[in-house]
Structure 1
């Protein structure tokens, strides 16, 4: 049995260190082994490293913005084949509560990839099949991965609507004037929209294609995993719109 490269977080020391983990030889029935091609560095990852999120395990592989190639499937997975290109939706749904069953509402996540279970800052990642999306044939893996709130609040005019669909930290604060809220009839709405927006995003990726979703045009910078320290420094700065880890999957055949 071999091993694979991973970047693991010691949650007690809040320190990242490169390591080797044993290759998964058995895939749980409803899960899929993904060989990671691209894994983004999100501000949520940076917030976790800073201790702004509570992590309930001693060690964790971060990374929840993932695209890759299927390298193993559980016995209950019948819609994916080894070699398929996929993107990972880090958020899952319980599919039991009223919120999940209402198709137009967001849903609380269960065991988010890269936050509550190992993520994509590694050569391989184990993902529940419900959180995988098959990439359209014309969308490359590079595209499958890919406004500050306070400024948005200040920009609101009469009848404005502020939609908050993410926050990097539980410590984030937003300053709003009650006077402006009622005189300008401003609305503020929170939305866990991700579970229902992910599939639509893949459709748009197919439509926009190479003409718009090009790393150079978007200001996306990629690094190999071994250069993680430089990658994290770039992610913390304003030198790139987005930073991703890029893995070599050139030896993986696809259908």
Structure 2
């Protein structure tokens, strides 16, 4: 490879095309900038939506990847909390820090920041050998957290925000998780860590159901048809909480009928902007149901790192979670495996 270039995976919105390219190395960092040599970079369900042209992203060609860990390569003159060689993880989201939402500690509502300015969606991200980011978005890892584990910080930070939104979740609650992709698996792992045992997971793909069993949580893993039959056989069967991780609107719509009075639904999976669901206001009134949606990860990276510390290899082993690593050059193979459900998650191993 010629000097001053790097391998990267770029998405061209106009052509709806993902390509492996030789991109220029990031320019030298100035002031509060940090260059990270990427070690591990995950493929998120949002990335799949972007690749299909179904999710908003940068109009110009952009290097994807908003879940990544790595090693600091260089820092700008004003950076004091990091130095070259530090192991780090990058929070891809930030705010403008000027609007009422940012000043209220809710930058995920910011019309300029939040999901509207994400590294790897609107700015070049971690599907590359190097990435330049703002220093305030870079978190130094404790010595006991590996770069491999840290690649899961971003999805866990979103789950942490979701946990805060739907808490309290009393131990003994009956919980239904829709979808056994990586997000469903991570939710199941966190629930198990917190002492929950009355959990059912619904997943249509057989391969993913088999992968889920490797987590050894003891949770029931069933098909959507089996879920329907539970309610058919016993109309009183229901759950206190639904955690929707599939991003499939019809599944959300049906799950509302399975929630017991006083229960709630957490809409966590991201749908296409065109997706719609129908809700009965009478059912909502009669059962006093609550629907709570979750938008990214405001200030929740420290909590996610705390979870990673507590979860350790018991829950965050790649093989157990159904995660497979690929090189950047294997991006087509990785995306195809994800679409087929042969794996729960693909992560690029770069460094």
TM-score, length basis structure 1: 0.90
Q: Kindly tell me the number of residue pairs found equivalent between the two proteins.
A: 248
Q: Deviations over 1:100-119 (max 9, x none)?
A: 23347854315210111011
More helix by share: 2
Equivalent position to 2:104, from 102, 123, 138:
102
- Counterpart for residue 66 of structure 1: 68
**Which structure's CA Rg is the greater one?**
2
Residue 83 of structure 1 is matched in structure 2 by: 85
Instruction: Write the mapping of 1:44-193 to structure 2, written as runs, cut at 5 A.
Output: 44-103=46-105, 106-108=108-110, 109=114, 111-146=117-152, 147-148=177-178, 149=244, 150=252, 152-165=255-268, 167-192=270-295
1:90, 1:25 → 2: CA distance? 19
Residue equivalent to 1:197:
300
Using the TM superposition, give the Cα deviation of residue 58 of structure 1 relative to its aligned residue in structure 2, in angstroms.
2.3
Change (3 A) 1:152 1:61: farther
**Structure-1 separation of matches of 2:280 and 2:150:** 39
Which sits farther off after the overlay, 189-198 or 38-47?
Answer: 189-198
Q: Indicate if the aligned counterparts of 1:90 and 1:131 stay in contact, CA closer than 8 A.
A: yes
Per-residue deviation, residues 75-129 of structure 1 (Å, max 9, x unmatched): 1211001111111111112222232233478543152101110111111111111
Cα 1:35–1:155 shift into 2, 3 Å: farther
* Greater relative contact order, per chain length (Cα 8 Å cut-off, separation 6+): 1
Q: Contact 2:9–2:128 (CA<8 Å) still a contact in 1?
A: yes
**Gap runs ≥5 in structure 1:** 250-255
RMSD: 1.9
Residues 67 and 90 in structure 2, CA contact (< 8 A), matched pair in contact too: yes
Deviations 1:16-61 (A, max 9, x none): 1111112224113222111111111111111111111233432111
Q: Distance in 1 between matches of 2:296 and 2:25?
A: 34
Tell me, in whole angstroms, the C-alpha distance in 1 between the residues paired with 2:107 and 2:74. Answer: 32
